[in-house]
Every structure is written in C-alpha cells, then in structure tokens.
Amino acid sequence: MNITTENILLIGSALLFISIIAGKTSYRVGLPTLILFLAIGMLAGSEGIGGIHFDDLGTAQFIGIVSLNFILFSGGLDTSWKSIKPVFWQGISLSTLGVLLTATSVGFFVWAITDFTIYEGLLLGAIVSSTDAAAVFSILRSKNIALKTNIRPTLELESGSNDPMAYFLTIAFLSLVINQDESIWSVVPMFFKQISLGLLLGFLFGKAGKFVINKINIDFEGLYPVLVIALMFFTFSATDFVGGNGFLAVYLCAVYLGNQDIIHKKTIMRMFDGLAWLMQIALFLTLGLLVYPSNIPPIFGIGILISLFLIFIARPFSVFLSLMFFKMKLRRRWYISWVGLRGAVPIVFATYPLLAGIDKAGIIFNIVFFVSATSVLVQGTTLSVVAKLLHVALPEKVKRKTPVDLFLSDSAKSALEEIHLDADNPSVGKKIVDLHFPKNAIIAMIKREGKYITPNGATVLENGDFLVVLAENKHGLEQVYDSLQIRDAEHEYEME
C-alpha cells in the first residue's frame, strides 16, 4: 500500500490509536514504549502485514527534526533549575565529555573489527552516542521507582542536553567521511561556532520569548501555546541558519522559559507535554516504517558485538571518566552507566549518511537500528532490577510524595487568606505574572466591585481588589505578602 493524500489521515489515525493502546499495555508490564512503537511501524511497513511502502528519507528526516524540536523543548520546559543546579556540572560533563568518549571508543572498536575506515567508525560511534530519556522515565514511572539523592536530575539533565553534542559529532564525522582529505582538526572551529552560537542564541531567544509572551495581549488563551511553537521553530531555524547548534538553542530557550514567570505557563506546558508524546509516537512509527526487517539478519553478528561493547564497556568507561572529578558513590556511577538507553535520536541521525549517499550508509542505518533496539530491550527491561541490586532505589515509605499525596496528608495544611489592595500598593496596575508569586501559592479568585473573577497571569490588579490567596502553609503566605510588597501590621494573622 502506498501512502497518498487520500489515505494518510486514515492510516495515521489508525496507527496512532494502536500505538496509544499498546503504550498503555507497555506501561503496565514495564516494556519501553519505543520498542512497541517501532514494532507497530515495522508491522505496518512494506514487509509487514500492513504493506505500507515508505522509503522517503527526506520526509523521515524532516519528521525526525520536527519531533526532536518538540521533545527537546518539552523536556526543557519541565527542567527545574532548582533540581538540576546541584548536579549541573555532572550533567554537563556527561552530555559533552561523556558523549565524546562514547563516540570515539565505539568508533575505534568498529574500525578495529570491521572494514570500516576510521572516519566511518567514528561516524557510527557519534550516531549512537546520545541517550534517550523518554524510554528511561516511562519505565521508572511504570515500575514506581524513585531514585536516591540526585541520580534522577543528573539523568534528566544528561539526556536532555546530550543530543546537541551527538548531532555536532555526527555532522562533523560525516563531513570527514565525505571529504577524507580534511584533517580531524578542521572540525574544531565548527564545534566552537556551533556551541557558542547555540548557547548565545538560545539564551537570547529565551529572554525575547519571555518578553513577547508577557507583553503581547492575545484575547484567546489557546493561542499562547501556538506563539511558543512559533518561537521554538524560529529559535531552531535561525540558529541553524547562522551555523549554530539549533538543538542546543531550542533546549536552552525552553529551560530558560520553564524557570521564568510567563503568562498561561501551565497551559503552555500541558500543551507541549501532549505534543511531545504525539511527536514521539509519530517519530517512532515513521522510523519503524523506514526499516526493512529483512536487512537486519545480515548485520546481526556485528550488531551484537557493538551493542555489547556499547553497553558494558563504552558507556561505563565514558561515565566513570566524565564523573571522576565529582564526589559520588560507586554504585550510583554504575547505575548511571546502566541507564544509557539508545532511542529514536540515533536512528534519526542515521538518516543523515543515507541522504548524503556515502558507501556504507545502509549498513550504518541498520546497525544503528539494531543497537538502539537491543539497548532498550536489554537495559530498559532491567532498570528496576538493577536499581534494587545497586541499592539506589528508595523504599516505598520514603518515596517522594505527589501533590495529591501531600494534599491528603495531615502535614500539609492549606492556608487561605483574603488580601485587600489599596491605591498605595505597588502591585496595583501590574500583571500577576510580573509579581513573581511563590510556586506554592495561587490567587484563586479576585473580588472586584462585588463580582468574583478567575484570574490568570495576564490579569492586571486594580485598586480595591480583594485577592483570595491559597497557599500550602504559613511560610507561603509570608512570601505572598512579600510579592505584593505588603509588610506592615495589617497582615498579622494566626495559623492554627
């Protein structure tokens, strides 16, 4: 069956529905959703029961780039600076030095055991050098595993920030494969240009995005996520246009916005969370359609060797060297080493050699697909077991409580306060988003001229408003008064 404009919506919606149902099943049994989505795509492909013929590499790569933008941006929005700050340098070391060490070690191994040239081996190593966060945390959630100390934020930061480095190495080594007369040192200026522009433009677009979101007055709340989508794509394309790392810029822009006070932030984050899942499913299905299962058996032997080397040697080697300057218990280093799942990103990057038309592009693509699938199957299905064996999983009684748990517990006493604003209050005339309200408090309602209104971040406070404020505790209310710049005797209150 060929995909046409007449049947693409029917086929796409059917595959999407099947994937969601399969994902729900995998969530219960702890099987990574990546494997199921890829399997569904393969079954629907030209060699599967669906018989859908799809071999458009350009379209597949475009879907991959668009999907990665959404996945990285959503991950950046969810990244709390407060949680990653204690492990910032550990995560950055893993996502830069760790990726480089993984790529080079795998590259030299491939060069040693195959007829690949050194640059072709390094290209393959670069493609499989980044980890996949979505597969990791879907399994951790399904098994209800909480990790000790700062292991989780370290893994989140690494997986969210290592794709830009892997992308750079892939492009760099691909250029060396195509132009073998060039020296490996010729890619160094490209590295500094990509990283520096990615960091600079990501931060600048983040600041500009905050200003635009908070200052522009859109009548419809649903258009704010659309505005942020436009910002995301503009950040990626503009950075890439000037020679910077677009993936790095997108991730950094999202991290900045996620840690700022912006209008309709919850709506934006919920929207991107759903879109990230949609793009993840679409990406996996597309890559599954692109794979021909009959091409896998010929590379089975070399694929197994590379997978074993990556899982048991290259990943631990890169993790231990990257973290050698930081204080961390040995068993936690081993667990981080084990959580090195390869996912959809390497398969997307494997389309670059195919489009470039290099000699071993087809073999590289099939090996990368096999290595990614093997990594998820071997490591993904054993994350909970290894966590318990290494004693890095928290016992049930000390797991981090959810907001619902905290609300229902006796220790969480909600505080409700009605605060009156007079004409002299500095908050009058300001938008709520500009007040820098504490995270543990909200303005539930505003009583204005005898009527109650439901506020949002764009609501401007007026003289005479009565703010109905809900906070988690007394300290939260004190922070509210500080935000409203009310510090006199009028807010003396007692908490029972």
Secondary structure (H, E, C), the chain = CECCCCCHHHHHHHHHHHHHHHHHHHHHHCCCHHHHHHHHHHHHECCCCCCEECCCHHHHHHHHHHHHHHHHHHHHHCCCHHHHHHHHHHHHHHHHHHHHHHHHHHHHHHHHHCCCCHHHHHHHHHHCCCCCHHHHHHHHHHCCCCECCCHHHHHHHHHHHCHHHHHHHHHHHHHHHHCCCCCHHHHHHHHHHHHHHHHHHHHHHHHHHHHHHHHCCCCCCCHHHHHHHHHHHHHHHHHHHCCCCHHHHHHHHHHHHHCCCCCCHHHHHHHHHHHHHHHHHHHHHHHHHHCCHHHCHHHHHHHHHHHHHHHHHHHHHHHHHHCCCCCCCHHHHHHHHHCCCCCHHHHHHCHHHHHHCCCCHHHHHHHHHHHHHHHHHHHHCCHHHHHHHCCCECCHHHCCCCHHHHHHCCCCCCEEEEEECCCCCCCCCCEHHHHCCCCCEEEEEEEECCEEECCCCCCECCCCCEEEEEECCHHHHHHHHHHCCCCCHHHCCCCC
C-alpha distance from residue 436 to each of 77, 134, 466, 482 (Å): 18, 31, 18, 10
Q: What pLDDT digit, counting tens, does each position of 293-302 carry?
A: 899 999 999 9
Task: With cut-offs at 50, 70 and 90, classify the pLDDT of residue 15.
Answer: confident
Q: Taking Cα atoms as reference points, which of 313, 302, 347, 336 lies closest to residue 63? A: 347
Whether residue 395 is predicted with pLDDT greater than 70 in this model: the reply is no
Q: How far apart are CA 225 and CA 57, in angstroms?
A: 30
Whether residue 413 is predicted with pLDDT greater than 60 in this model: the reply is no
Q: Taking Cα atoms as reference points, which of 98, 120, 97, 95 lies closest to residue 107? A: 120
Whether residue 487 is predicted with pLDDT greater than 70 in this model: the reply is no
Q: What is the dotted CATH code of the domain comprising 404-491?
A: 3.30.70.1450
The mean pLDDT value of the chain amounts to 85
Whether residue 488 is predicted with pLDDT greater than 70 in this model: the reply is no
Q: Is 133 within 8 Å of 349 (Cβ atoms)?
A: no
Whether residue 173 is predicted with pLDDT greater than 60 in this model: the reply is yes
Whether residue 150 is predicted with pLDDT greater than 60 in this model: the reply is yes
Report the side by side order of strands in the sheet with 451-453.
Answer: 415-420, 466-471, 441-448, 451-453
Kind of pairing between the strands at 451-453 and 466-471: unpaired
Q: How far apart are CA 213 and CA 264, in angstroms?
A: 9
In CATH terms, the fold of domain 8-398 is Na+/H+ antiporter like fold (1.20.1530)
Whether residue 493 is predicted with pLDDT greater than 50 in this model: the reply is no
Residue spans in the chain of domains classed CATH 3.30.70.1450: 404-491
Q: Which has more confidence, 87 or 21?
A: 87
- What average pLDDT does the segment 73-78 reach? 90
Q: Which has more confidence, 305 or 423?
A: 305
Whether residue 27 is predicted with pLDDT greater than 60 in this model: the reply is no
Rounded percentage of the chain residues whose pLDDT exceeds 90: 42
| The two structure tokens encoding residue 54 | 């799809």
Least confident of 104-113, 308-317, 388-397, 425-434: 388-397
Whether residue 495 is predicted with pLDDT greater than 50 in this model: the reply is no
Q: For position 411, what pLDDT does the model report?
A: 42
Whether residue 99 is predicted with pLDDT greater than 50 in this model: the reply is yes
Q: For position 5, what pLDDT does the model report?
A: 59
Q: Where do we find the tokens 């760790």?
A: 98
Least confident of 43-57, 127-141, 241-255, 303-317: 127-141
Least confident of 214-218, 246-250, 351-355, 359-363: 214-218
| The two structure tokens encoding residue 20 | 């969601």
Q: How far apart are CA 388 and CA 147, in angstroms?
A: 10
C-alpha distance from residue 384 to each of 31, 36, 146, 265, 439 (Å): 11, 19, 10, 33, 32
Residue spans in the chain of domains classed CATH 1.20.1530.20: 8-398
Count CA within 13 A, CB hemisphere, residue 262.
27
Q: Which of 209-213, 282-286, 384-388, 410-414 has the highest mean pLDDT?
A: 209-213
Q: For position 490, what pLDDT does the model report?
A: 47
Q: For position 88, what pLDDT does the model report?
A: 93
Q: How far apart are CA 458 and CA 213, in angstroms?
A: 10
The letter for the amino acid at 17 is F
Q: What pLDDT digit, counting tens, does each position of 428-465 carry?
A: 888 888 888 887 788 888 888 888 888 888 788 888 88
Q: For position 280, what pLDDT does the model report?
A: 82
Whether residue 182 is predicted with pLDDT greater than 60 in this model: the reply is yes
- What average pLDDT does the segment 28-48 reach? 76
| The two structure tokens encoding residue 207 | 């600041």
